[in-house]
Chain A
Amino acid sequence: MSAAVVCRGLRKTYTGGRTAPVEAVRGIDLEVGEGECFGLLGPNGAGKTTTIEILEGLLEPTSGEVEVLGLRWKTSARQLRQWLGVSLQETRLNEKLTVEETLGLFASFYRHPSPVAEVMAALALNEKASSWVGKLSGGQRQRLAVATALVGAPRLLFLDEPTTGLDPQSRRQLWDVIAGFQRGGGTIMLTTHYMDEAAQLCDRLAIVDHGIIIALGTPTELIARHGGEGGTLEDVFMNLTGRRLREQ
């Protein structure tokens, strides 16, 4: 299995004008295999979004190396953007465009996009094809955000909290889409707060806290190692991140 994402010694320090520097990421090493679904878990402010945005080429790391699909951002950004699908947290797309127009616009940026109708069907957005984005429900908007990531027919999909705030049906619908993308040979890297989502979707997980990885493995391994007797992933998470809270 070749690597879709490799990063070594990743650090990101935000230096504000008047505030003390914030070390959002303090040395992360990761390797995500091609075809894998990899999850980043961690409490708010742990550095998940910073990490994923560095991998997406939206932020420059303060130090460390990143290689995505065998290429580096410095030299191959244009090629990488063709291969990547990205869904960010809280993007508000143009409210006065319809779902179909929005996807058509995103498709126009790619050399080999998927047909818009196909993507809409996959995300159950067909009925809303000619609705304005401003009129969509929260769940529909989130599905549209994922649809904009998928319409470029990416090899690697980055999803930052794709199901936050969704009702159970919408979450399951998105899980099916993500699982389907993986079955088609795609690689996924996602962040989430939901343990059931991580357990359901991810082949491997990294639990991130205070800018470093504090545990890495398959859901089963993590439960065996950190979950205690008859534990769940939830227990793993609480044991690991809660302990650090108590230590501070």
Chain B
Amino acid sequence: MRGFLALFNTRMKELAREPEAVFWIFVFPLIMAVGLGIAFRSTPPQPSRIVVAAGPGAARLASMLQQDPQLRVITAPSSEAADGFRLGRYDLVVTAEGADAAMQYDPARPESVLARALASQALERAAGATAPLAVSATANSAPGSRYIDFLIPGLLGMDLMNSGMWGVGFALVEMRQRKLLRRLAATPMRRGDFLGAVLASRLVLMLIDLVLLLGAGVLLFHMRVMGSWLAILLISTLGALAFGGLGLLTASRHEKIESATGIMNLVMMPMWVLSGVFFSYERFPAVLLPWIRLLPLTAVNDALRACILEGAPLHTQLGRLAVLAVWSVITFAAALRIFRWS
């Protein structure tokens, strides 16, 4: 215990004395959250951009379309209209055909599909059509259902993974490269104490990170944290341990930073894509889903989202917590076995 505490203390001191580390650990995730939050903030819907190909009857169509404030209507020569549509400047091309209208839209672009629907409606209404049925609708963008609400727990999970893997892995490979590990192996230091202290020091930083990120979500984006902070803390701790263990394992043999970097990316890449950081992993084929759910980042993201967004109590998340616990134990035990001290 004395050895562990001494190692933990010195590790914390070292980290605190490393200005770059402090930047990467604390400032970077915040910049990222703020940047993405701004990019994906809830904005009033953009008007659909419609181009009317110039020709006989174009002016009439344009004025009919302009009666709908959700449409922005431009008249342009037909070749320019076609080019603009192809390049994505316009969502829809409308051409007059006698008294009728022809539309050109792209079914693969949601905004184009929307423009077509709105434009048809506007033209029909302007031509005198009446609705056979009254439908009322109210707008609802309450906190909790926005993209930013989905994103922040994912960012938290990703941040746990990045800082766990890089923080633990890099530090160890670097110590091996400077032969410090070899020197330590020549002392009676308990090896588990050492690896445990490296993990634990990282854990503390990750938890500070967590509070910063989630705090930014609450303050800047008015996120609502539905579950208990204690549950969030516990999920994150287990996640941090799992990723720390994974970092330990990936860094357990490499002597050079360069080769370690490659393998770390190899381990993290699938999780960036599969584990639902930026979009829901339910989009992947159903046969893959059970496997995707076994990845530690998926377990962290799912548990954090359930807790933060739905207020799910901790006992409903036991399966995901078990996934994380298993990853922590297996990676730590394996790392301890195959770890190279020189």
- Name the A residues within 8 Å of B86 (CB-CB): none
In the complex formed, the residue of A with least CB distance to B185 is A58
Is B100 an interface residue, CB under 8 A from the partner? no
State the majority secondary structure of interface residues on B.
helix
A97 near B10: Cβ-Cβ < 8 Å: yes
State which size class the interface on B falls in.
Answer: 20 to 34
User: Which residue of the partner chain, among A78, A91, A96, A132, contacts B183 with CB atoms under 8 Å?
Assistant: A91
B186 near A90: Cβ-Cβ < 8 Å: no
Closest Cβ–Cβ distance, residue A143 to chain B (whole Å): 15
Q: How far is the CA of A104 from the CA of B6 in the complex (A)?
A: 8
- Name the B residues within 8 Å of A210 (CB-CB): none
A93 near B188: Cβ-Cβ < 8 Å: no
B3 near A109: Cβ-Cβ < 8 Å: yes
Is B283 an interface residue, CB under 8 A from the partner? no
A86 near B188: Cβ-Cβ < 8 Å: no
Closest Cβ–Cβ distance, residue B205 to chain A (whole Å): 15
Q: How far is the CA of A96 from the CA of B13 in the complex (A)?
A: 8
Closest Cβ–Cβ distance, residue B180 to chain A (whole Å): 6
B187 near A101: Cβ-Cβ < 8 Å: no
Of residues 63 to 113 in A, which have CB atoms within 8 Å of B's CB atoms? 78, 81-82, 84, 86, 88, 90-94, 96-97, 101, 104-106, 108-111
- Name the B residues within 8 Å of A57 (CB-CB): 186
State the majority secondary structure of interface residues on A.
loop
Is A56 an interface residue, CB under 8 A from the partner? yes
A96 near B188: Cβ-Cβ < 8 Å: no
Is B342 an interface residue, CB under 8 A from the partner? yes
- Name the B residues within 8 Å of A90 (CB-CB): 179
B13 near A97: Cβ-Cβ < 8 Å: yes
A91 near B180: Cβ-Cβ < 8 Å: yes
Give residues in A with beta carbon < 8 Å to B: 56-58, 78, 81-82, 84, 86, 88, 90-94, 96-97, 101, 104-106, 108-111, 132, 148, 152
Give residues in B with beta carbon < 8 Å to A: 2-3, 5-7, 10, 13-14, 17-18, 178-180, 182-183, 185-189, 342
New A-B pairs, 18, CB < 8 Å, besides A86-B183, A93-B183, A94-B180: A81-B188, A82-B188, A88-B186, A90-B179, A92-B178, A92-B180, A93-B180, A94-B14, A96-B14, A97-B13, A97-B14, A106-B187, A108-B3, A108-B5, A109-B189, A110-B188, A111-B188, A132-B17
